[in-house]
Structure 1
């Protein structure tokens, strides 16, 4: 008979979660009460300190999937998932290194702001529309997870929990803006870390692990027992192609996520942004390592301890382990940590949607709009994005992480190439950007298993669902189109007057910190050619049989 996992005393869970909501509303209101402009709404006045920003970055990236869907993937993929984890951890440091500080120096507070200045209005609106879709898909996963948590563990019907708590969440994010979201995210990150690692230590102690006192690393003392019980856990059962496909889908995809890049722009200075990376890497590495340890312990418990978890309950592994091995009040705190993880990511998603609509679309089309009206539109856009994610979550996809990871790939196809190439190659122009974004984005959507299942680019179920196969084809195609179309159109005499090449040169020199202008900088035809050749090879490889 299948086990029904639910707290015996759901009131306990509701009280703990309710207390965290009250805290977040108070912090959000106090933090954002001085916001009088769109910049203050979306970047918190650009005066956030390194430690707070680093914690907020980690919390924004952590998401509810850390508590729920990720551990389910570890159950399914086992040790190969560590490769996915490594790529995810790389994201924000790479954002800072590749383009974050450049865009921060430019004064942009969203990636699409850079696309507008670099490629023009049409390209920026196309990119903004794709990024709104990405942000809604990412937010959708959080809304689904929060509603599932309330339904299965606290006994609240899915739709009831979705609307009541979804609106409460959207309300606190709308009231708090980026300043409130940042301060709350820093608090949420502390809650997430404590409510994940400390209960995991108790679980490990209960099953006899000697390294229980530091779960992120010392779960390794369980390896010999795991080898005896399940030797296949450590097999890299997929093909090299599968592991390579993680790079365009997740690493490059994360570089295009607007809510991650926005965190760089909240820093008080470039030095502060770089310092925040250290704190981000430390806290994220700590909790991500613990997440893998939780998945490891879950596999061990289901293999050796008699714990039975159905496929339908795989997303709840973290909560179930706490229910089995820890007191109920601990599980209630873990649920609060899970909700906090969802809230922190939703904050970033909805603020990104607000910035995209009010700044990158409305202000672009209506540049003379008043500051007061623009700020009001921003609040409305944040709220509307939240309501959209609630409505989409009414009939959600079956697997929590799918919508999130698929969003990574779409960002990598439609947004990341425009920013990366635009920052580092002066010849990139609006024609290449539009071609890359439109064709690449359409290709990614077409070959996914969600829109046209009959023509999916087939790897296997996990590969296609996470967007790995689609991104491995569409991301290099986007890079090729951006470079080749830009190169050709720059050499058509009839178009030369429409391409603001001198303005592009001056912009790139300025964002890299140069005082003088040198035409040869960031203008390598050889480098662009190598990128095209490598991208073409990857795209051809993506079309070949995947195997396992």
Structure 2
């Protein structure tokens, strides 16, 4: 095959599909959110979402356009190492529930930053909120890039036009719908995504000649022999052990700090419902993630064996290109509807998180007596402004749309996750340790990224540094160690005792775990804290040693 223009020849077909898709989303969003009268209604959807709906919504929020487009692009370029990297991410929401989701929900926290405010005080929560706004904007940036790429392919319009038109339509939909609309729409979007990804992939595999076309997520192995003959290094471990280890602090721990994922736990009608939603989430996400690997695998096969030519700058369009090459155009139009659904669902979570962080965790913290109606209106403004900022940042995008998303994971792992994890499970954690961990850890992570000070990048390997893997491996353990060391020292400084709330903190930690009595031995292990510090320092030193890339 030769290179194609990779866009629909009949743009009217694409316009109809997009119009119907957004009409559905706007109607569902408006109906779902019409009774919202408070910030709680806006951000938690009333706190009564059922398990299946929430499980679908969690999966949709997690999928994002990175799954539809970005993952397949990096599988095409990085091959198996990226598949191994992305598998780490599926652990996020179940771990959120196990490690702290239940505790924070029992406490009645809006967001993880709400917990940080109650646990460490106002100053620490504002610092965390500012970092989390940056995280959410960077995550939303990847979705905006994907939306622009999708519209570019759908209609043949310039990237910039697709960015502003598509971006503003989506920001408007999210602003209208709130969390109730976002959750109900996300459940619908997840169904659309699954069908529009897996079914057309089966048709592509059938056209290629593979026997496992009838269940793409698992039955694509018969392509392996021919593909390995053309690409013998596909399954090779191309990077040193340190690279594979670095995905744990960057992505697994990083995902624990993402505010828009944690917010989904709090929309459940009960703790039992939240746990049941995890089961649905894992099943649905596992199914579609497996299909994503199959799509990337099929792309490698098509380019190496079938002769499909894809320019490097078109790698993010792989899913759409495969459909244009092997399926009728009306199928590709439906696939694009699935891609748009993926971007919309994740953007909903990102922008709602930005709104909650600005209105609840900053404005209401600084102005606790602000009128509820005014704060409610400010929430809508914050959501809209966050979307516009993401659009503006996408004007000069990184080489791969998934880069900004993965970098955001690492920043969340440095500045948010340690404060929550240690704060939930160790009573001695205090505000001085929390602020030191967030500020120093966050500054180190940003400084060693290639986006700010390229000369300070740890490996010089564009993918490793750009995705935040090297930065997180250094900054995440430093953040954990600082939180514990500074807290331990300041708790024993008489001059600071009047500024600490030890007794209140101990009661808070006990209560969020469900205890009604306070016992000094619970959640107060010095041995556990020491082990965490030693391991953290060892990992940080390892990160500074040569990577051997």
Q: Please indicate the TM-score interval, normalised by the length of the shorter structure.
A: over 0.9
Aligned-partner Cα distance in 2 for 1:249–1:505:
30
Residue in 2 aligned with 1:412? Answer: 413
Query: Residue 455 of structure 1 aligns with which residue?
Result: 456
Structure-2 residue corresponding to 1:498: 499
TM-score, length of structure 2 as denominator length: 0.99
Q: Alpha-carbon deviation of 1:85?
A: 2.0
- In the alignment, which residue of structure 1 is the partner of 2:141? 140
Contact 2:151–2:166 (Cα < 8 Å) also in 1: no
Q: Deviations over 1:27-78 (max 9, x none)?
A: 0000000011111100001100000000000000000111111101101111
CA RMSD of aligned residues (A): 1.0
Map residues 257-268 of structure 1 onto 2, 5 A cutoff.
257-268=258-269
Task: Confirm or deny: 8 A CA contact 1:457 1:464 kept in the other structure.
Answer: yes
Which residue pairs with 2:173 in the alignment?
172
Q: Summarize deviations over 1:363-402 as a string: whole Å, max 9, x none.
A: 0000011111111111111111111111211222232111
Deviation at 1:231, TM superposition (A): 2.0
Instruction: Report what 2:189 is aligned to.
Output: 188
The answer for the alignment partner of 2:63 in structure 1 is 62
Matched residue, 1:49: 50
Q: Contact (CA 8 Å) 2:149, 2:317: kept in 1 or not?
A: no
CA distance in 2, matches of 1:223, 1:50: 38
Residue pair 1:459, 1:545 contacting (<8 A) in 2 also: no
1:289-327 alpha-carbon deviations (Å, 9 max, x no partner): 000000001001101101011111111110000001000
Distance in 1, Cα, partners of 2:370 & 2:205: 58
1:324 corresponds to 2:345: no
Cα contact 1:459–1:469 (8 A) shared by 2: no
Contact 1:440–1:478 (Cα < 8 Å) also in 2: yes
Bigger Cα displacement from structure 2, 143-152 vs 51-60: 143-152
Q: Which residue of 2 aligns with 1:82?
A: 83
1:459 and 1:546 in contact (8 A); partners too: no
Indicate conservation of the 8 Å contact 1:12/1:332, yes or no.
yes
Aligned to 1:306: 307
Tell me the equivalent position of 2:481. Answer: 480
Alpha-carbon shift at residue 160 of structure 1 (Å): 1.9
Cα shift at 1:86: 1.6
User: Does the Cα contact within 8 Å between 2:226 and 2:305 map onto a contact in 1?
Assistant: no
Contact 2:54-2:268 at 8 Å conserved across structures: yes
Cα displacement string for residues 501-547 of structure 1 (whole angstroms, at most 9, x for unaligned residues)? 11111111010011111111000000000000000010000001111
User: Does residue 126 of the first structure (1) align with residue 114 of the second (2)?
Assistant: no
SS of 2:399 mapped into structure 1: coil
Contact kept? 1:173, 1:347, Cα under 8 Å: yes
1:210 and 2:211 are equivalent in the alignment? yes
Secondary structure of the 2:219 match is helix
Q: Tell me by how many angstroms 1:158 deviates.
A: 2.0
Equivalence map 1:243-254=2 (5 Å):
243-254=244-255
Cα offset, 1:152, TM superposition: 3.3
**CA positional deviation for 1:19:** 0.4
- Provide, for residues 401-432 of structure 1, a one-character-per-residue CA deviation record: whole Å limited to 9, x for no partner: 11111000000000000000000000000000
Give, in angstroms, the shift of residue 265 of structure 1.
0.3
Q: Could you report, residue by residue, the CA deviation over 1:462-514 in whole angstroms, capped at 9, with x for unpaired residues?
A: 11111000000000000010000000000001111211011111111010011
Distance 2:297 2:399 in 1: 23
The alpha-carbon deviation at position 222 of structure 1 amounts to 2.0
Q: CA deviation at 1:459?
A: 5.1
For residues 183 and 476 of structure 1, the distance between their equivalents in structure 2, rounded to whole angstroms, comes to 38
Counterpart Cα distance in 2 of 1:439 and 1:486 = 14
Cross-structure match for 1:468: 469
Structure 2: gaps of 5 or more residues? none
| Superposed displacement of residue 166, structure 1 | 1.3
The one-character-per-residue Cα deviations of 1:224-256 (angstroms, maximum 9, x if unpaired) are: 332333221111111110000000000000000
Residue 80 of structure 2 aligns to a residue whose secondary structure is coil
8 Å contact 2:154–2:333 — kept in the other structure? no
Q: Which position in structure 2 is the counterpart of 1:163?
A: 164
Q: Does 1:14 align with 2:15?
A: yes
TM-score scaled by structure 1? 0.99
Q: Quote the Cα distance in structure 1 between the aligned partners of 2:340 and 2:87.
A: 24
Q: Structure 1: where are the runs of 5+ without partners?
A: none
Match of 1:236 in 2: 237
SS of match in other structure, 1:5: coil
| Aligned residue number for residue 31 of structure 1 | 32
Match of 1:445 in 2: 446
Quote the residue 1:285 is aligned against.
286
1:111 pairs with 2:112: yes
**Is 1:540 matched with 2:541?**
yes
Indicate the SS of the match to 1:542. helix
Name the residue aligned to 1:377.
378
Q: How many residues align?
A: 548
Cα drift, residue 214 of structure 1? 0.5
Measured in 1, the distance between the counterparts of 2:7 and 2:86 equals: 29
Q: Is this contact kept in 2: 1:459–1:547, CA < 8 A?
A: no
* Separation (CA, whole Å) in 2 of partners of 1:370 and 1:22: 33
Alignment correspondent of 2:509: 508
Cα deviation for residue 2 of structure 1 reads 4.8
**1:329-348 equivalences in 2 (<5 Å):** 329-348=330-349
- Equivalent residues in 2 for 1:431-442 (5 A)? 431-442=432-443
